[in-house]
């Protein structure tokens, strides 16, 4: 008799975005004539930019030649991409090539990172939060070790430092789901906390390309001391439209140390390298070539233009909702808009009403955690036309 991992029984029955997709599919089946606007899951809609497409074509042709064929690549990523990452993202921050691990996206990295941590760690996770952090900790038997850090309207959606001692802290800024950013001073408090407590920060910076304001770190390593206590996750998904192509990376400075039960220090970089070489055979060569092209002159320009358009959508949605009398957060340094449900509706009531009466899909705040109750997240990753149309429908309804 094969036993199951019973930790899976402690999870919600289905992953948040799968539950929503099912609900929307059922609604569409009942009402095939309705034109649904999907502003739920943060999936991009703009095609891959020409500079990246060109690099992809070239790489495809290359692997069809005897000289250009590639078999297994380095598990950590090809040097050309790791070099481009260091050069373009971390040049002034002291991050080295062997501190970068290329992957097939931040979701996998954020989930897989639990492998290199012990089961007795106290883990601080914000509430509401991107569900992957919580679910992967539960799957690996750490449900009881999770300490939630409430992220509340009254604190401008910035978590307070943990009240009890924790070993690991997940942070995501600009934040998914609230769309709010953290100032360098506030972030420094977490870095100092981690230093004082020998904790490690797992910093998800997947949305940093959307930062428009000053005094907000694009990388946690801009904060003094972070290189000793932080692991950073980044992704090309939202930055360069790679949600389908799949590529991201994790940064683990060699100075980030964990401890054995006996109190001996270990480099987390070495542990992750060991895990990576065992469980991963690297991201496809052609995809890494595509990611490299994001850093070409043309690539940078084209990707920036797309982000600008998404941020314009965010402004259309945010301004429109405010004109309609909603209380709205996010949408300035982020593609996410976090709005308060009207008339004291719950997140799911508001979700249902928007779906049924305006045929708009959002993501109920409570799906990201109990403190998200009463909120709904909309994304700016739709088209401009759909963003305008969504606001028109909402204004008609409220």
Cβ neighbours around 254 below 10 Å, total: 13
The angle subtended at Cα 38 by Cα 203 and Cα 27, nearest 5°, is 125
Report, in Å, the least distance between residue 329 CB and ligand MLT: 16
Report, in Å, the least distance between residue 260 CB and ligand MLT: 33
Sheet containing 336-340: give its strands across: 328-330, 336-340, 375-379, 363-364
Beta carbon nearer to ligand MLT, 42 or 159: 42
Beta carbon nearer to ligand MLT, 178 or 199: 178
User: Count of residues for the chain?
Assistant: 398
Report, in Å, the least distance between residue 241 CB and ligand MLT: 12
Report, in Å, the least distance between residue 105 CB and ligand MLT: 8
The angle subtended at Cα 40 by Cα 38 and Cα 42, nearest 5°, is 105
Report, in Å, the least distance between residue 116 CB and ligand MLT: 21
Residue with tokens 């089961």: 119
Collect all residues with Cβ–Cβ distance below 8 Å to 245 and sequence separation of at least 6. Answer: 48, 236, 287, 290
Q: Which residues of the shown chain bind ligand MLT in the complex (CB under 6 A)?
A: 41-43, 107, 130, 176
Beta carbon nearer to ligand MLT, 130 or 350: 130
Alpha carbon distance 114, 348 (integer Å) = 31
Distances (CA, A) of 295 to 22, 37, 50, 369: 37, 32, 13, 36
Please provide the distance, in angstroms rounded to a whole number, between the alpha carbons at the two ends of the chain.
56
Beta carbon nearer to ligand MLT, 227 or 238: 238
Beta carbon nearer to ligand MLT, 114 or 226: 114
Report, in Å, the least distance between residue 95 CB and ligand MLT: 23
Beta carbon nearer to ligand MLT, 175 or 359: 175
Report, in Å, the least distance between residue 83 CB and ligand MLT: 26
Beta carbon nearer to ligand MLT, 282 or 372: 372
Which residue's beta carbon is nearest to the bound ligand MLT?
Answer: 42
Alpha carbon distance 346, 374 (integer Å) = 5
123-127 and 146-150 strand pairing = parallel
């Amino acid at each position: 008799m094969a036993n199951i991992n019973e930790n899976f029984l402690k999870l919600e029955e289905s992953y948040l975005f799968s539950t929503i997709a099912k609900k929307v599919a059922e609604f569409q089946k009942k009402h095939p004539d309705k034109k649904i606007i999907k502003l739920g899951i943060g999936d991009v809609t703009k095609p891959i930019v020409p500079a990246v497409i060109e690099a992809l074509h070239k790489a495809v042709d290359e692997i069809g030649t005897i000289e250009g064929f590639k078999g297994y690549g380095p598990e950590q990523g090809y040097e050309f991409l790791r070099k481009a990452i260091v050069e373009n993202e971390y040049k002034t921050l002291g991050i080295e090539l062997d501190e970068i691990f290329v992957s097939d996206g931040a979701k996998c990295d954020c989930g897989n990172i639990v492998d290199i941590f012990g089961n007795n760690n106290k883990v601080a996770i914000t509430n509401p939060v991107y569900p992957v952090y919580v679910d992967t900790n539960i799957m690996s038997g750490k449900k009881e070790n999770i300490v939630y850090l409430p992220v509340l309207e009254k604190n401008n959606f910035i978590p307070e430092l943990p009240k009890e001692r924790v070993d690991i802290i997940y942070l995501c800024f600009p934040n998914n789901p609230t769309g709010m950013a953290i100032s360098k001073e506030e972030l420094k408090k977490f870095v100092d906390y981690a230093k004082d407590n020998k904790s490690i920060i797992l910093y998800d910076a997947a949305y940093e390309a959307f930062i428009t304001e000053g005094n907000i770190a694009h990388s946690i390593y801009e904060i003094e001391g972070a290189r000793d206590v932080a692991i950073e996750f980044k992704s090309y998904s939202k930055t360069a439209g790679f949600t389908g192509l799949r590529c991201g990376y994790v940064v683990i400075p060699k100075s980030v140390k964990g401890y054995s039960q006996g109190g001996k220090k270990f480099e987390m970089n070495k542990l992750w390298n060991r895990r990576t070489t065992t469980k991963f055979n690297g991201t496809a060569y052609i995809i890494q070539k595509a990611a490299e092209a994001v850093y070409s002159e043309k690539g940078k320009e084209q990707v920036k233009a797309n982000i600008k358009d998404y941020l314009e959508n965010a402004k259309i949605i945010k301004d429109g909702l405010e004109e309609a009398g909603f209380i709205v957060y996010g949408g300035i340094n982020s593609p996410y808009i976090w709005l308060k449900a009207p008339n004291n509706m719950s997140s799911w009531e508001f979700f249902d009403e928007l779906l049924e009466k305006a045929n708009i899909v959002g993501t109920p705040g409570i799906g990201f955690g109990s403190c998200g109750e009463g909120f709904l997240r909309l994304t700016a990753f739709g088209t401009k036309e759909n963003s305008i149309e969504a606001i028109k429908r909402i204004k008609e309804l409220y």
